[in-house]
């Protein structure tokens, strides 16, 4: 049985490039190099048939450690809570007030990028504090 070597996380969205560029800023990711024969993704996109232009975009970890993120345009809007979401690990190893301060600082950085703050979930007997947010198209994610 073959082992899995890579994982890509795919987002359904209305504006793939906009959402991808948001996540580049959140995670420190970069846009992959344009396909061979094109000097930019814009040039590649213009070469596509009109109905396929702007239909997808991607971003990747520049160090090759994290998963590639792929964003594909879909006709329907988001209706309910995500069944899968990303946890952005900004406070690993921190507890109490120090953890909450790290979460709040990252939240403050992401809001000007278009993120929305939803709810701070304070630590209980089982879980550490985390901050629930939404990306530029309303997809939930947690600062953890």
Q: Which residue has the higher pLDDT, 123 or 5?
A: 123
* Of 71, 80, 84, the residue nearest 14 (C-alpha): 71
Residue 24 has pLDDT above 70, yes or no: yes
More confident residue, 20 or 5: 20
pLDDT tens per residue, range 94-103:
999 999 999 9
The whole-model pTM stands at 0.89
Alpha helix segments (H runs only) across the chain: 16-27, 41-46, 96-110
Give the residue-averaged pLDDT of 30-59.
92
pLDDT at 7: 85
CB burial string 63-74: b at 16+ within 10 A, e below? eeeeebbbbebe
By C-alpha distance, which of 131, 129, 108 is closest to 118? 131
What's the pLDDT tens digit per position in 75-116? Answer: 988 888 888 899 999 999 999 999 999 999 999 999 999 999
How much is the pLDDT for 104? 98
For the chain, what is the mean pLDDT? 93
Q: 10 Å Cβ neighbour count for 124?
A: 8
Of the pLDDT bands very low, low, confident and very high (cuts 50, 70, 90), residue 1 is low
What is the reported pLDDT for 82?
85
Query: What is the structure's pLDDT at 84?
Result: 87
């Amino acid at each position: 049985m073959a082992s899995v070597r890579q994982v890509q996380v795919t987002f359904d969205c209305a504006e793939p490039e906009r959402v991808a560029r948001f996540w580049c800023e959140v995670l420190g990711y970069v846009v992959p190099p344009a396909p061979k024969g094109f000097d930019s993704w814009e040039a590649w996109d213009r070469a596509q048939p009109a109905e396929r232009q702007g239909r997808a975009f991607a971003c990747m970890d520049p160090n090759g450690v994290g998963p590639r993120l792929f964003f594909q345009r879909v006709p329907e809007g988001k209706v309910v809570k995500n069944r899968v979401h990303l946890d952005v690990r900004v406070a690993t190893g921190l507890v109490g007030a120090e953890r909450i301060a790290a979460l709040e600082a990252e939240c403050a950085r992401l809001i000007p990028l278009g993120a929305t703050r939803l709810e701070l979930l304070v630590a209980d007997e089982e879980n550490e504090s985390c901050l629930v947010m939404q990306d530029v198209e309303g997809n939930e994610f947690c600062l953890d």
